[in-house]
Amino acid sequence: MNINPATVPEAFLTLSADELNDRIREVKAKLGKRLLILGHHYMTDEVIAHADERGDSFALAKIAAQTDAGFIVFCGVHFMAETADIVTTATQKVFIPDPGAGCFLADCARIRDVEDAWQEIKSITLQSIIPITYVNSGADMKAFCGDNGGLVCTSSNAAAALKWAFERGEKVIFFPDQHLGRNTAFAMGIPLEEIILWNTDEPLGGNAPAAVQRARVILWDGFCIVHQEFNVDYIEKLRQNDPQINIIVHPECDFDVAQAADYMGSTAYIIKMIEEAPAGSHWAVATERNLVNRLKSAYPEKRIEILQSFEPYCKSMAQITLTNLFYQLDQLDSGNLINQIVVEEQYAESARTALNRMLELTQ
């Protein structure tokens, strides 16, 4: 990982939103097709307005793998920019307006702990184990999966990734999001008794050897703080007030929340379901507020609300602002390649293997 963080100078901090918008448009026009701005759905309205392409992490990874643009500016979090760097060619350059925009969930899996757990599991079973890492993870984790016959997945293709893995092995170890792993495996028919949680602080992850032997899915103990804000009590309250309400949740939510919901799926799935819903239908959505509020504005003929009394939001995604986006573009225009994301050579190739296995999945 090569981070070259740049401090936004004072002169940029005092520009108004109108000035920033005008100047971003000017630089974009000047750089033309050499530049591609990618925006994740969790970006604020003002930032996403400048994205050439918007999408969830899977869609943006695919677009990055296909573009010819020399400069890719990623409005999202660090692991997404890393993914873009891995799937692009050596001459294409990927930037993020704030390289400090990390991801709490991605940080839950540290490679040293993962390697220790892998050795421990291997020491007590001869069964074949396929590692899967959610795209919300570092390049070192993706490389680990690539090197050990595994792959990457996103929330859009976790089921396809599990199916791929079970065609090749007897067990899966799923990093770092326990909820995506559990919700997806259970929805595919794997009973909870065959899904165990691995707690890094305890020998054998806190499991009896027989439980590890029996498990078909071993879950890493990671979670997303934003998606932990949704709960079953609130769902019950909404249902009491409106029995017609549709509850739709992202698979990073807790198992009990997913079970209490009517629908569960990726960001792309949530968008599609609401897009296709009839006028007058009522939806409560458990995911990041910027996406929910945008759906609300896009479909005023439907009643859409967030599944909480407050608006959970991702602080890391919010680190990308109109100001640092403009500074990023302005510097690129001057030939000053700040905030470039370069995945370390030792990880790039193996991580690419794991990502390519995902990109080749048919969903």
By CB under 6 A, residue 229 contacts ligand 13P: no
Among 83, 207, 267, 331, binds ligand 13P (CB under 6 A): 267
State the Cα–Cα distance between residues 99 and 95, nearest whole angstrom.
8
Among the listed ranges 108-116, 119-127, 160-168, 222-230, the one in contact with ligand SF4 (CB under 6 A) is: 222-230
Q: Nearer Cβ to ligand SF4, position 266 or 353?
A: 266
Interface with ligand 13P, residue 157, by CB under 6 A? no
| Residue 178 makes contact with ligand 13P by CB under 6 A | no
321 binds, among ligand 13P, ligand SF4, none (CB under 5 to 8 A by kind): none
- What residue 316 binds from ligand 13P, ligand SF4, none (CB within 5 to 8 A, per partner kind)? ligand SF4
Stretch of 1-9, 55-63, 139-147, 305-313 lying at the interface with ligand 13P (CB under 6 A): 55-63
Residue from 212, 136, 143 nearest 179 by CA: 136
Q: Of 100, 39, 42, which Cα lies nearest the Cα of 64?
A: 39
Amino acid code (one letter) for 91: T
List b or e across 196-219, with b for residues whose CB sees 16 or more CB atoms inside 10 angstroms.
bbbebeeebbebeeeebeebbbbb
Q: How many residues bind ligand 13P (CB under 6 A)?
A: 10
Residue showing tokens 């100047």 = 23
| Residue 57 contact partner, candidates ligand SF4, ligand 13P, none, CB within 5 to 8 A by sort of partner | ligand 13P
CB of 297 to ligand SF4, least distance (A): 20
Instruction: Mark 49-88 with x for binding to ligand SF4 (rule: CB under 6 A) and - for no binding.
Output: ----------------------------x-----------
Contact partner at residue 324 from ligand SF4, ligand 13P, none, CB < 5 to 8 Å by partner kind: none
Count of residues making up the chain:
363
**CB-nearer residue toward ligand 13P: 73 or 314:** 314
Q: Please calculate the CA angle 113-119-125 and round it to the nearest 5 degrees.
A: 135
- Token pair for 173: 């170890």
**Distance separating alpha carbons of residues 351 and 138, to the nearest angstrom:** 9
Cβ-contact 239, 245 below 8 angstroms: yes
Q: In whole angstroms, what is the distance from residue 291 CA to residue 335 CA?
A: 34
Q: Which amino acid is at 179?
A: H
Interface stretch with ligand SF4, choices 88-96, 99-107, 204-212, 349-357 (CB under 6 A): 99-107
Which residue in the set 83, 137, 178, 266 belongs to the binding site for ligand 13P (CB under 6 A)?
266
Measured from the CB atom, the residue of 67 and 266 that comes closer to ligand 13P is 266
Query: Out of ligand 13P, ligand SF4, none, which partner does residue 82 contact, by CB within 5 to 8 A per kind?
Result: none
Strands (E), the chain: 35-40, 53-55, 71-75, 93-95, 129-134, 151-153, 171-175, 195-198, 217-220, 246-249, 263-264, 282-286, 303-306
Interface contacts to ligand 13P, rule CB under 6 A: 56-58, 136, 154-155, 224, 252, 266-267
Where on the chain is the footprint of ligand SF4 (CB under 6 A)? 77, 103-105, 136, 224-226, 288, 314, 316-317
